[in-house]
Amino acid sequence: MAEELTNLLISEHHPMDSLLRQDRLPHIWCSGCGLGTVLTCFVSALQKLELDLNKVVIVSGIGCTGRAAGYLNLDGFHTTHGRAIPFATGLKLGNPELKVVVISGDGDLMAIGGNHFIHAARRNMDLTVLCVNNFNYGMTSGQVGPTTPTDARTSTSPYGNAEHPFNVPYLAAATGATYVARWTALHVRRLERSLIEAMNKRGFSLVEVISPCPTYYGRWNKMGDALEQMKQYHDHSIIRHRTDPAEADISLGGEIIVGRFVDEDKPTFCDLQREAVQ
């Protein structure tokens, strides 16, 4: 069959394979899910950063996004639900030389791990948090989550969601994060650059990625297939750097303000503690 594809070279290995656990591929994410694209951007950012990969640790929580740590050929841990940030905090305090990256979803970081998130931001722990927001709990069949927009339909809000959603960049900025950015899964080059900046930043940095969930959220809200949903998020996004994150609310079908919202320098928890001890 392979011979019948025109002008295409069939290969066995990908240039990013050294950073991936090939025995786990292909991954379980649905066709067209934004998570794969986000992971590609992350791997590409890592390749460009040229860090010592023995000192990079990936921590993830539970959910579709939580599987990212299992697909990366780096030290990593798949924690219990919501506890990715406390585990990462422990790693960072135990060995401050490590570059600790938390990759998790909106349900894991904002709902059950919400308190851990705001307190890590308040302490300014030197972590990089990649929050992939698909507006629902995708792995457990699309229930309403903390970031589901008002009036959006999900399997547990069939008449429309009556709750107000979290505005993730606003929450992070208000609790003291030093780097806050938001992109959609289609802004691949900008997301890659943002991840490089976030990983180079000393302090709590958050990158939120708006990603489609074609199987549940998109289907309940009649957004079409994965491609249409991704295109819709991209078309509705407006790049506005340094805007006040309070204005970056997301409504159902409304515009999505993306960009780098916060980029400031502040002493981290480790710095202050070292000063206090000396």
Q: What does the binding site for another protein look like in residue numbers (CB under 8 A)?
A: 1-2, 4-17, 20, 25-27, 29-37, 39-41, 44, 186, 188-189, 192, 226-227, 230-231
Nearer to another protein, 46 or 120 (CB): 46
Looking at the chain, how many residues does it have?
Answer: 278
Nearer to another protein, 149 or 214 (CB): 214
Distances 193 to 61, 120, 165, 197, 229 between C-alpha atoms, Å: 24, 24, 27, 6, 23
Query: Taking a C-beta distance cutoff of 8 angstroms, is the pair 212, 134 a contact?
Result: yes
Q: Least distance in Å: CB of 41 to another protein?
A: 7
Q: Least distance in Å: CB of 43 to another protein?
A: 8
Q: Least distance in Å: CB of 3 to another protein?
A: 10
Q: Dihedral of CA 51/102/256/219: which sign?
A: positive
Q: Count the neighbouring beta carbons within 10 Å of the beta carbon of residue 258.
A: 28
Q: Cα separation of 236 and 112, whole Å?
A: 29
Q: Least distance in Å: CB of 261 to another protein?
A: 23
Nearer to another protein, 14 or 266 (CB): 14
Instruction: Specify the residue for token string 């999900």.
Output: 154
Nearer to another protein, 71 or 166 (CB): 71
